[in-house]
Amino acid sequence: MRPDATLPRYATEGAAGLDLAAALDAPVEIPPGDRAIVGTGIAIHLPRETEGQVRPRSGLAARHGVTVLNSPGTIDEDYRGEVKVILINHGAEPFRIESGDRIAQLVVQPVLRVAVEETTEEAPATERGTGGFGSTGGFGPEQGR
């Protein structure tokens, strides 16, 4: 979509994600606690029955506190617009992004679609039952933590 866009690429032979780079007219600075939508200058055509998952880069998170806000972001197979990344700065310092900076990674995954039907039948009982957050890991309300 832009002649200066960087094509996504795997950084190593064993990498699961393709690096996504910013494509900007001018640098973007994200103040601490703020967010920005950063364009990549590319559009993609995903294979049928797949999705693109936009995930954080661990180095940005570890060194600067910058991550993908809606992680993982989903790119549907039928989306044809520019791939954009919502970044948030959880760090203590402003974070500056320049065109060409690697800002996220894209992992392509298969999608399993299910049929949804209304029913009055109860689901079969399980050991977990209706236990929710933390109910299997010892950090739920019943453990007093």
Could you report the average pLDDT of every consecutive run of 10 residues in the chain (145 residues)? 96 97 98 98 97 97 97 96 98 98 98 94 87 73 54
Partners of 37 in the beta sheet? 86
- Per-residue tokens: 79: 């989306």
Distance (Å, whole) CA 39 – CA 100 = 11
Residue 99 has a pLDDT of 98
Residue 13 has a pLDDT of 97
- Per-residue tokens: 93: 């310092």
Partners of 68 in the beta sheet? 87
What's the half-sphere exposure (Cβ side, CA atoms, 13 Å) at 56?
18
Residue 143 has a pLDDT of 53
Tabulate helix, strand, coil % of the chain (nearest 5): 5, 30, 60
* Long-range interactions of 135-141: CB distance < 8 A, separation 24+: none
Partners of 87 in the beta sheet? 36, 68
Residue 39 has a pLDDT of 98
Residue 133 has a pLDDT of 80
Q: 10 Å Cβ neighbour count for 145?
A: 8
Residue 101 has a pLDDT of 98
- Per-residue tokens: 125: 């009982």
Residue 3 has a pLDDT of 94
Residue 138 has a pLDDT of 64
Domain 9-112 has CATH 2.70.40.10: yes
